[in-house]
Structure 1
Amino acid sequence: MNFDFKKLQQCEWNTLFQIETKSKELIVILIFEIIIDGIKYENVTLECSNPRNEWAAYWNENIRDWIDYSDFDLLIGNRITTFNAKPVGGNLSLSFGGNHVLGFARWGFFSDKVEFKCG
């Protein structure tokens, strides 16, 4: 399936996911179920080559600000609730949101190429 930023951003995100591979060369994210244009897809992978500048932050309601954190094991909890992608200088900027135990969290990185594969 072609990677269409607008369609993926417009999906109703509330899907279980897991990170299958995470290295300097590749991040592979397994999305268990997603509905795109009214069609349900299961076991979809998002393969992101040459990931870099990884970051994570959670929203602290008390001080009304984003707090950086390095808990890259839990990332954003076990569900993706929001997704953003945009081209930046020949690369792709990807970010995912979810409900972490600390509060609403975002995780993101840059990638050279993203492949969206239906199982």
Structure 2
Amino acid sequence: MLRRPVESANYTSFRFTERLQDNGILPSMGSVGDSYDNALMENFWSTLKIELVYCTSWRTRDEAENAIFAYIDGWYNTRRIQKGLGYLSPDEYETAWHTRQHNPAEPTVATPAPAGSR
């Protein structure tokens, strides 16, 4: 007996959600049908493409993989400023946190939000 192929992506996503629930697994972000499903990753991939992929070409797959790894681990995750960290990079925020732990009597210097678009 031949089975009809699944024609709807929605059906697939609902089945995937059911499968997670059957195994006691919670999805990592978003839920089926809401407007924020995968919004964080969509934003990340967009940024990666604009800042690295569209303006660079590589001769080999290894070169591309190394460049993407360097971008993510060497710059995006450590030096990119983040609003949730008071417009500091994760490295700056962590350094400030450790400084406060070792010198709790020193006043905390507030970093102003950058002016203009950044």
User: Shorter-chain-normalised TM-score: which range?
Assistant: under 0.3
Relative to the length of structure 1, the TM-score reads: 0.19
The structure in which a higher percent of residues are strand is 1
TM-score (norm 2): 0.20
Q: Which structure exhibits the higher relative contact order, with contacts defined as CA atoms closer than 8 Å and separated by 6 or more residues?
A: 1
Structure showing the higher helix proportion among its residues: 2
